[in-house]
Homo-oligomer: A and B are copies of this chain.
């Protein structure tokens, strides 16, 4: 005789987190395209970025509403809240960077900025791949170890980039603009690490 579980966990949370992380993949790709585009192209891409950020925002609210209306959640409400917020932060920082690159009319960006964005793209991809594995809580360690490695790499890149900018750029106003953009990209990398740390916390509690 099979005994039905009395309070089935709401499995759609896993789909919602996956959808949320897939917006990050789209966003990080747009950010890469934006770097390679001319000023006119950038405006169009930044507009697409605003739209993806809007979708990601809706995805976050769907998770929050689902959390509030669901009696039994697959893991602690606090952790659902943390994970959804952390995913949302990744998007916000990427969108802010894209917006500022356009607003500040930053014509040429140092090559290392593209390296920063590439790391974000990799972070987004492996985050999106990891989300469905929250269901079975399997093979998640590789994911958070890799994110931590990428964030360390981003951190080193960031400092080298800052030192290089201060060495090579003599216009203080241009420096100020670029510094803000590269710092926001570094914050995006930190936000991906926060997502991974939250996943680790959840996995540990469930193990």
- A→B interface (CB under 8 Å): 67-68, 77, 81, 99-100, 103-104, 159, 162-163, 166, 170, 172-173, 175-177, 179, 201, 204-205, 207
A67 CA / B99 CA spacing, docked (Å): 41
A142 CA / B192 CA spacing, docked (Å): 32
B159 to A103, Cβ gap below 8 A? yes
A204 to B68, Cβ gap below 8 A? yes
Point out the residues of chain B lying under 8 angstroms from A81, CB to CB: 201
Point out the residues of chain B lying under 8 angstroms from A204, CB to CB: 67-68
Query: When A and B form their complex, which 3 residue pairs have the shortest distance between CB atoms, in order from nearest?
Result: A172-B172, A103-B163, A68-B204
Point out the residues of chain B lying under 8 angstroms from A100, CB to CB: 159, 162
A175 CA / B162 CA spacing, docked (Å): 15
Assembly of this chain: how many copies?
3
Chain A, interface SS category:
helix
A11 CA / B15 CA spacing, docked (Å): 41
A207 CA / B67 CA spacing, docked (Å): 13
Of B103, B159, B173, the contact of A175 (CB 8 Å cutoff): B173
A177 CA / B166 CA spacing, docked (Å): 8
24 contacts between A and B (CB under 8 A): A67-B204, A68-B204, A68-B207, A77-B205, A81-B201, A99-B159, A100-B159, A100-B162, A103-B159, A103-B162, A103-B163, A104-B163, A104-B166, A166-B173, A166-B176, A166-B177, A170-B173, A172-B172, A172-B173, A172-B176, A173-B175, A175-B176, A176-B176, A176-B179
